[in-house]
Amino acid sequence: MHELYSTRTNPFIDPTLHLWAWEIPVYLFAGGLVAGMMIIAGYYLFHGRQDDRQSSVYWMPLASFISISVGMLALFFDLGHKVSVWRFYTSFQITSPMSWGAWILFLVYPALIANLLLKLPFGLGTKIPLLGNLSTRVVKHPKTIATIGVVNMVLGAALGIYTGILLSSLSARPFWNSSILGILFLTSGLSTAAAFVHLVAKSTIEREGLARADIGFIIIEIVILFLFIIGLTTSAAIHKEAVGLILGGEYTASFWVLVVFLGLLIPLFIQSLAVTHKIRHTPIAPIMVIVGGLILRFVFVAAGQASTWLPY
């Protein structure tokens, strides 16, 4: 595996400088967002939501396609050996998280394209008759649509978990040395995806349902973050030192103010009032969740880079 941050500033000197290394956090955020949208879109397809022409299931595949491409571009910018990217696809290494990730991302694209066949954008059905005929056939078979939904949910879950495992597999960084990161990043991806779809969905029923779902995702994410912190504080001394980066260290304010308070607790409070009809639904809460999810990746990448098994 390439050196993930081989061109970055030495993490032993000034860890705060890594907040400006945007490629990997953006890649992880895009991957989580797409994973969440694939799961939501797949769930909708499996339950026949495509019958509602206003359903977000028709635009989520295109949004996912664009988002994952932006994330892949960010990752490409970070690679130390760009011309050797193709080597990932010449073999499959079962013990390599990078190999798993490369092939998961490779499979995500055809799954999204299959979803796009339900309603081809930009008049592609007319411009490319083959696609148009294929789209017509798919729409006529509910079982095929349901199968596409299941495939999207499975690949979405794999993609979301992978974004966390990518970090946790790098055991040289004590802050990342937690098996719970995969579930944390998957849950965060579901939360940001639910917030994003809630923000732009046309269907009132979907907005209401996604707001309720996001409340659950946020609560689960808070619990997982608590378990993550407890796990490191009850481990070896080096892990306690690593988690200290967000418990009084350099990233304490970023984590507790921007991620936990503004990105989770405040949106949870606002969404709870909205779904109980005590206040109107507002775009403020979803926007805060999305920004909080992005900052979570920046903080975790930076804190992981700042932690080490070596003495300072």
Q: What is the pLDDT of residue 242?
A: 94
Among all chains, which residue has been given the structure tokens 């619990």? 223
Give the pLDDT of residue 229.
96
CATH code for the part of the protein at 15-306: 1.20.1630.10
Q: Report pLDDT digits (tens) over 139-157.
A: 888 999 999 999 999 999 9
Three-class SS state of 3: coil
176-190 pLDDT per residue, tens:
989 899 999 999 999
The full set of domain ranges for the chain reads 15-306
Please state the three-class secondary structure of 214-245 as a single string: HHHHHHHHHHHHHHHHHHHHCCCHHHHHHHCC
Looking at residue 139, what is its pLDDT?
87
Tokens of 156: 């979405």
- The per-residue pLDDT for 80 is 65
**What residues in the chain have per-residue pLDDT under 70?**
1-20, 80-92, 95, 310-312
81 φψ region: left (φ > 0), alpha (ψ -120 to 50), beta (else) = beta
Q: What type of residue is 87? A: R
CA–CA separation, 209 and 185 (whole Å):
22
User: What integer pLDDT is reported at residue 152 of this predicted model?
Assistant: 97
| DSSP letters spanning 249-305 | STTHHIIIIIIIIIIIIHHHHHHHHHHTTSS---SHHHHHHHHHHHHHHHHHHHHHH
- Backbone angles phi and psi of 200, in degrees to 5: -115, 0
Do the Cβ atoms of 188 and 172 come closer than 8 Å? no
What does the alpha-carbon distance between residue 259 and residue 218 come to, in Å, rounded to a whole number?
A: 11
Question: Residue length, the chain?
Answer: 312
Sign of CA dihedral 206, 26, 295, 98: positive
pLDDT at 12: 30
**Rounded distance between C-alpha atoms, residue 310 and residue 241, angstroms:** 12
Chain-centre distance of CA 209, in angstroms?
20
Distance (Å, rounded) from C-alpha 38 to C-alpha 164? 17
Q: How many whole angstroms separate alpha carbon 294 and alpha carbon 228? A: 18
Tokens 């970090």 sit on residue: 167
- The per-residue pLDDT for 100 is 77
Q: What torsion, rounded to 10 degrees, do the Cα atoms 226, 42, 44, 195 define?
A: 40
- In this structure, which amino acid lies at residue 23? E
For 161, the token pair is 């978990």
Residues with Cβ < 8 Å from 160, sequence gap 6 or more?
31, 32, 35, 36, 39, 182, 185, 186, 189, 190
pLDDT of residue 188: 97
pLDDT at 190: 98
